[in-house]
Amino acid sequence: MKRMHLHVSVDDIAQSIGFYSDLFGASPTVSKPDYAKWMLDDPLINFAISKRGAKAGLDHIGIQVESEPELEEIRQRLEKAELSLLTEAGTTCCYAKSDKHWVQDPSGIAWETYRTLDHAPTFNGQASTEPGTACCIPAVQKIEIATRKQCC
């Protein structure tokens, strides 16, 4: 099964948790001082928010899969699209260990396709829960995204 993933950076985590809990009619599946996630079946989405020092708004979009063959299928599709693909195996991000592939769409929006392997005790392998490191988009892609947004 594939599930859409949206990750939004927020200014106030507590206020945002309240808003999205009301909107979805459910409490977060995961709730940390800097992060919350809802695994919803209706709509079928993994919706996450974080307060990690990034500007409020869309952080990235993704597709979460349950199996290695599903992840491989999407990787092959991305290669056919001739997009620059970055693969991360066993990486820690958003309190989870995952295998993932990152691309940018033609407008510079970061997309991750991933399979969660296990829970993790930290947001991205760092002991601190202090805001300051945004979500786990690879640094090279963040630079490219920032450069594109400043253009035109």
- What pLDDT score was predicted for residue 55? 86
The full set of domain ranges for the chain reads 2-150
Provide the pLDDT for residue 90.
Answer: 82
Tell me the whole-structure pTM to 2 decimals: 0.70
Per-residue model confidence (pLDDT) at position 125: 64
Question: Which pLDDT does position 142 carry in this prediction?
Answer: 46
Q: How many CB atoms lie within 10 A of CB 92?
A: 19
Digits of tens for pLDDT over the chain (152 positions)? 899 999 999 999 999 999 999 999 999 999 999 999 999 999 999 999 999 777 899 888 999 999 999 999 999 988 888 778 888 888 877 777 889 999 888 778 889 998 988 777 676 666 555 554 456 667 544 434 433 333 32
Q: What is the pLDDT of residue 123?
A: 66
What pLDDT is stored for residue 6 in this prediction?
Answer: 94
Class of domain 2-150: alpha beta
